[in-house]
Amino acid sequence: MATVAAASQTSPLKVSIFDGTRQPIAGNVQILYTITDGNNNILFRDYRSPGAQFNLPFYDNFGDNYSVVAFANGYGQAGFTPVKCSPSVPQVLDIMLLGKNAGFNFAAAEWDRLAATNSLLAGIIAHGAADDAAARDRYTQLMEDRPAVLACLFNIATAMAAIPLRTGSPLEYFKELIWDDTMAQDRFYGWADPALYDEVKLAASHGVFSREADFALFHTGATDSYKQIQFGEANVQLTFHQNDTKVIDGLTCIRMEPDIDYYKDLAAHALLEVVANAISGSLTDPRQVYVLRWIAGRHAGVPDFNPPYVIA
């Protein structure tokens, strides 16, 4: 059993709480923090303010891999692990809590505004429609009738746009979405430049992606699949269906199936996400993806995950 070091050897940790608008939560909200060390000892469980400072024992081993969970009345629960704490590097952790009655707010994603602020994504969404009016109507209907599906699309597209390839990002290779019942709250399908396959394989050789060995178990008809491995949670998975093609603007494109899993580890994904969803009859929740991806990005110190909607 690890021995707790002297009081002078403690690891500072500052935890800040945000809400679904990606802004600091109201200062009068009391947060229940639960902090567990790498030895599975609960070291702290009590209410504090949304911005709380902790001084945690320093073990100088795996015991310093802390787990932090936050909860507030009227909000859901969220957390992060591992938070690797040490006396020499003060840790900062940002956690997002969603209000239990919060819903999707697409004010920043109205058609004209999306076209002005994200022309790449707007162009992909519009492609294949008869004209701009038809594209607007199709998009507006999706927003009104299937908001979770639109949130999923925004989550995945925003995450893809942040992945650097040798040339561009994965999103820049997409030409058109497939507007049918395969568009769901956990994934969508689209047509992409086949050059994306070589770009992803090259990125995998540089440690950006990892090839999924058992992709056929979860993706019927797929020919290959690669998952981003940058974060502990909410990584993009790009699944290729190279036997399905469509000519778009003179280019023979391949069918793509992008999604985001909760967990990087395949066993955790299978046991905690796929099986749990099968038991509950539900699909991966875009709200949970939104929270996990935002927290993971903040912890990694990369540009904020900022899809064109909030949950409020």
pLDDT tens-place string over residues 66-117: 999 999 999 999 999 899 999 999 999 999 999 999 999 999 999 999 999 9
pLDDT at 269 over 80: no
- Residues 150-162 as b or e (16 or more Cβ within 10 Å = b): bbbbbbbbbbbbb
Q: Cα separation of 117 and 120, whole Å?
A: 9
pLDDT at 236 over 60: yes
For 23-74, the pLDDT digits (tens) are 999 999 999 999 999 999 999 999 999 999 999 999 999 999 999 999 999 9
pLDDT at 218 over 90: no
Q: Helix or strand or coil: residue 125?
A: helix
53: number of Cβ within 10 Å? 11
Q: Containing H/E element for 181? A: none
pLDDT of residue 283: 72
Q: Do the Cβ atoms of 41 and 260 come closer than 8 Å?
A: no
Domains in the chain and their CATH numbers? 10-96 (2.60.40.10), 104-311 (no CATH)
Q: Cα separation of 76 and 93, whole Å?
A: 17
- Residues 134-145 as b or e (16 or more Cβ within 10 Å = b): ebbebbeebbee
What number is the average pLDDT over the span 156-162?
98
- Report strand pairing: 78-84 vs 65-71: antiparallel
Q: Cα separation of 105 and 32, whole Å?
A: 27
pLDDT at 163 over 80: yes
* pTM confidence score: 0.92
